[in-house]
Amino acid sequence: MYKGELIHEQEGRIDVAIKRIKLLSEETEEGKKTRKYLNSERDVLSTLDKHDHIVRMYDAFEKEEYFYLVFEFCERGEFIADQGCPEGLARQILYQVILALKYCRIKGIAHRDIKPGNILMTAAGCVKLADFGVARPVNFTSEEICTIGIGTHGYTSPESDDGDYSKGDEYAIGCLLFKLLTGRLPFGDPVKNMRAFLKNQDSEKYNFNDVDCSEMCKDFISKLIKRDVGERMAFDEMLSHEFVSGFKVEYLECQCSLTKVEVKV
């Protein structure tokens, strides 16, 4: 990721983040795949333009051997959740992510890769959802689009293994909140022990033993990380749940667990 400067017609001179990807030959499978994902991110972000909690794309273009995506610059970078954070901070972050994802759903888009690394923050503390490279329409039917294995293990829903992402973002929100609070995933680390992870996920086995959070927070999580899609809360149900109902966004002053975006000038 590179930091650059853009002279915008309405906003004047602004800082931007530039993603530059080297393109391989279109004659190779890898080259075709890379272009497909880059074009998808461009098209999806064009559809989701100008939402307060979705990173804004200013431009996308191909030049010589590179593809460039130009985004708003989020000065405080991505959220690192390895140590966990207080419930109040987690709720502030989660609420803004829910607003972004509900807007995506209204537009018919599933993000498919919700995780702390795809949550950015501006200097003012506004949360922005980023990285729409694997996002797709919710009701897709193409076998090419329903690629199994999309997303990040630990956050993806059980049914995603069968190519069903219709309610995968809702499941990921529950995993995200658990991670923000504890620094760990609810069903264990799939990288370290995939067998134990799948067993715990299948039986919905998790605990709040080391979590200092309210009962309403625990209830909120439990209603999202359900294996049964029909039992999982939808976005409107989330926003009416007491954990976030009537909540007001207060841009975050707390600097804990944040990292600056690594940029090159």
Question: Known catalytic residues?
Answer: 113
End-to-end CA distance of the chain: 9
- At 175, the amino acid letter reads C
Contact 74, 62 (CB under 8 A): no
Tokens of residue 255, six digits: 């600097």
Query: Residue 7 forms beta bridges with which residues?
Result: 13
Chain centroid offset of residue 231 CA: 22
Three-state SS sequence of 123-159: CCCCEEECCCCCCEECCCCCCCCCCCCCCCCCCCCHH
Contact 69, 57 (CB under 8 A): yes
Distance CA(219)–CA(222), nearest Å, equals 5
Q: CA Rg, the chain, in Å?
A: 19
Beta-strand relationship, 127-129 and 77-78: unpaired
Tokens of residue 244, six digits: 């976030």
